[in-house]
Amino acid sequence: MAKIVCVLYDDPVGGYPTSYARDDIPTLDHYPGGQTLPTPGAIDFVPGELLGSVSGELGLRKFLEGLGHILVVTSDKDGVDSVFERELPDADIVISQPFWPAYLTADRIASAPRLKLAVTAGIGSDHVDLQAAMERGLTVAEVTYSNSISVSEHVVMLILSLVRNYIPSYQWVISGGWNISDCVERSYDLEGMTVGTVGAGRIGTAVLRRLKPFDVNLHYTDRHRLPESVERELRLTFHPSAELMVRVCDVVTVNAPLHPETEHMFNDALIGKMKRGAYLVNTARGKICDRDAVARALESGQLAGYAGDVWFPQPPPKDHPWRAMPHHGMTPHVSGTSLAAQARYAAGVREILECWLDGRSIREEYLIVDNGRLAGAGAHSYSAGDATRGSNEAERFRQ
């Protein structure tokens, strides 16, 4: 018998949905590039339902309790008196989300001697102290590609919202106005602009593909250069560093993992090298951008706009400066948890659990750490001895 502690975000304020805006979601049979979707033995949910909140339970309860396991689901994740803190010491498996992360710090890992597996319902496991996980011999897994396209769509939406000044224009309508001059005094065409991505993995490349029809100039930087055939197809310009790329870009989008090399990459110095009036979009991780440097750049006009859905910590405090800074398009961390994405990452979590509980290997692309060694997507993104410890800082921030 295993004990599984699952940390999910709260249900809607008005209660768990009894109906939905649409009757179904599109059915996919593969991801771009050919990777297969999750292949669990079965699912106990209807695709298109709200699965990522507490009442949704990722559709896991019937499956796990039917096998005699214990499932604890909560949104109470922070502080010594939280449900997560109380249930963790005898947990075998922890499931959490990037959108509502249960920061699995080195201290929390040390307090859970039975813990063997940490699963991310989605993509991005930096809320786990990966170095501590390696030292303890844990396995860390996530549902690779489950919401990559969801995030890339969100990036394009945010870029257009900033450049076309959509949010202030919408607010004039809500307030009963028809103030065209106020709407267009900060509105530009994306056509002809130079757009660059920091990171050209699955999400970054998907963003580039979706932007190509807008007749923009596409640039990128990444520690792994793309194949020449892809560069030719998308007419990409490669830069060996972010510092060189941002100098020429009108729009910069961040699609890189968080690790020591990218933490606070966009600080005063790097933002100062960007074109005055450039736009910055970050749907990767909040700590890649220096919180106060971004606010200062918007106040001074060095940045014309900043948008994204990632913060540090998550959720952010009410006095976080990104809530009140000018010319922003921030949302809660929602880009990767659309109802369609939830169906995929819930199925992927079940696949991972089925493999783990049956003693079968978890598919390689889902692995970040495998019994203490970087593997799969983790080996591509991180380096042993230099992996993220940001979870510890999140705990200090709250204290």
Burial 320-356 (b: 16+ CB within 10 A, else e): bebeebebbbbbebbbbbbbbbbbbbbbbbbbbbbbb
CA angle 60, 44, 376 (to 5 degrees): 60
Helix (H, G, I), strand (E, B) or coil at 312: coil
For 62-65, the CB contacts below 8 A with 24+ separation are 63/350, 63/353, 64/4, 64/353
Backbone angles phi, psi at 94, to 5 degrees: -120, 130
Q: How many CB atoms lie within 10 A of CB 74?
A: 17
Percentage helix, strand, coil, to 5, in the chain? Answer: 35, 15, 50
Would you call 158 exposed, middle or buried from its count of C-beta atoms within 10 A (0-12, 13-18, 19+)?
buried
List residues with catalytic annotation.
Answer: 147, 285, 314, 333
Q: How many CB atoms lie within 10 A of CB 223?
A: 13
Closest CA to 284 of 198, 219, 156, 366: 198
- Regarding beta strands 139-142 and 367-370, do their DSSP bridges make them parallel or antiparallel, or are they unpaired? antiparallel
